[in-house]
């Protein structure tokens, strides 16, 4: 996404009203695509995410090319690493320069432990990978251990291939589990397609069994909803409908509903989705939140706290520095442009103080990170802002700029 362009964004302070039809969740879509590829029979997937990562995964799963390029798509790369380790033939799996700096060693080591044939083509422990046909005894060893504080995508990648392994899988998670909701999401989706599991303590057991093909409808993305919740928090009067979200959700980010009540944002569900309204404009004296179960909400909430001048303490941020960018440092740098201080406390916590203020129009950098662009966009409700490389939103929500235009944002390049 090296478009090098800049969007100027502004929205006059009037009631925040309108209807947004949110795209399907990337996290759910990508898991269901892998499960479908592991099924004996195909099935229809309704409301599949429009995200670049999902489109790319869908294409690569049916590609017969020898070299598969996952670009900057971390989930796509990790899920494909496990999926390709089951396949006959030999393929190279590569990605963008940033992807080549994102570790993959723990997943490769676990797959090699099961008998996968995977080589590093450049730096040890990092993409690109050469993945060959599995060894004769592949999947007969059923027990694998992996650090529990690693990316949940490694764990999900292993769980999804588990039922098709000859001996199934017994996966031990060592230490403190981070991103547990994403592991639970994977297991709930596998259960929808007929795969049972037993989770006792830190061990998940999945016996050999077949996935059952059945039609699936993808829920909208709660992470994407967080940007509209942020707008609602920054707006004095709100009546905004977000369609496609379920009250009973498999997504960890659905905790957003309770979190945003603190900022006076009320949620009511209907058959179509949910309605956001403003209860009252009371604010917490100090906002404290553990993001261990919902790390993708941290950027949205950091901008809300800065925008409203609410001092805050964010904890449970262990995975934030190994995402598309080091999100803690990115938040610190970009919020400083508008007078808000982010003070990291170790690698899993930071404090926020100050309130956004600016005279010259700030230009926020996005660091090839879709969530930086979308998390900062709500500040355009206070004064005009600029967002650099805005096309980065394509990674998870390509229609974002068009959607916010529908609710009164002026977005120009």
Residue 97 annotated in active site: no
How many other CB atoms are there within 10 angstroms of residue 273's CB atom?
A: 20
Q: Residue with structure tokens 């001092």?
A: 311
CB–CB of 311/287 below 8 Å?
yes
Bridge partners for 143 per DSSP? 170
Nearest Cα to Cα of residue 74 among 91, 95, 93: 95
- Maximum CA pair distance of the chain? 67
The encoded tokens of residue 221 equal 């993305």
Cis ω before 301 (30° cut-off from 0): no
Neighbours of 175 (CB within 10 A): 11
Say if residues 377 and 387 touch (Cβ distance below 8 Å): yes
Q: Whole-angstrom Cα distance, residue 276 to residue 282?
A: 16
| Closest C-alpha among 374, 379, 381, 386 to residue 412 | 386
The answer to whether the CB of 342 falls within 8 A of the CB of 336 is yes
SS3 107: helix
Triad 351, 357, 361: Cα angle to 5°:
120
Rounded CA-CA distance 220/250 in Å is 11
**Residue 12 class from Cβ within 10 Å (0-12 exposed, 13-18 middle, 19+ buried)?**
exposed
Handedness of CA 318, 320, 325, 329 (dihedral sign): negative
| Sheet arrangement for strand 198-200 | 143-147, 169-174, 203-206, 198-200
Q: Which of 53, 69, 221, 296 is catalytic?
A: 296
Active-site residues, by number, are 296
């Amino acid at each position: 996404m090296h478009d090098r362009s800049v969007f100027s964004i502004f929205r006059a302070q009037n009631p925040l009203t309108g209807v947004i039809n949110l795209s399907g969740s990337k996290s759910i879509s990508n898991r269901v695509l892998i499960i479908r590829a592991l099924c004996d029979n195909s099935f229809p997937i309704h409301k599949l995410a429009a995200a670049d990562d999902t489109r790319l995964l869908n294409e690569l799963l049916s590609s017969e090319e020898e070299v598969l390029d996952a670009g900057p798509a971390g989930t796509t790369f990790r899920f494909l690493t496990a999926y390709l380790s089951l396949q006959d033939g030999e393929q190279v799996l590569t990605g963008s320069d940033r992807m080549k700096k994102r570790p993959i060693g723990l997943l490769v080591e676990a797959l090699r432990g099961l008998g996968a044939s995977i080589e590093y083509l450049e730096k040890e422990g990092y993409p690109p990978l050469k993945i060959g046909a599995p060894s004769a005894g592949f999947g007969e060893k059923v027990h694998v251990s992996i650090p529990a504080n690693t990316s949940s995508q490694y764990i999900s990648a292993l769980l999804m291939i588990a039922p098709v392994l000859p001996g199934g899988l017994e996966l031990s998670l060592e230490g403190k589990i981070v991103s547990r909701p994403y592991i639970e999401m994977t297991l709930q989706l596998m259960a929808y397609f007929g795969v049972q599991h037993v989770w006792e303590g830190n061990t998940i057991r999945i016996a050999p069994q077949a996935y059952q093909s059945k039609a699936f409808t993808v829920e909208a993305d709660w992470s994407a909803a967080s940007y509209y919740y942020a707008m609602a928090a920054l707006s004095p009067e709100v009546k905004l409908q977000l369609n496609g979200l379920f009250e009973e959700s498999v997504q960890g980010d659905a905790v957003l509903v309770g979190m945003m009540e603190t900022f006076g944002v009320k949620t009511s569900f209907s058959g179509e989705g949910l309605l956001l309204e403003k209860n009252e404009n009371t604010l917490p004296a100090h906002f404290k939140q553990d993001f261990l179960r919902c790390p993708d909400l941290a950027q949205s909430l950091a901008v809300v706290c800065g925008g409203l001048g609410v001092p805050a303490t964010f904890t449970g941020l262990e995975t934030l520095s190994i995402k598309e960018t080091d999100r803690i440092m990115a938040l610190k740098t970009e919020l400083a442009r508008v007078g808000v201080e982010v003070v990291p406390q170790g690698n899993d916590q930071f404090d926020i103080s100050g309130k956004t203020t600016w005279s010259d129009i700030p230009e926020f950098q996005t660091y090839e990170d879709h969530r930086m662009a979308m998390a900062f966009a709500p500040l355009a409700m206070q004064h005009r802002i600029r967002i650099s490389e805005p096309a980065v939103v394509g990674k998870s929500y390509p229609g974002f700029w068009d959607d916010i235009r529908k609710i009164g944002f002026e977005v120009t390049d």
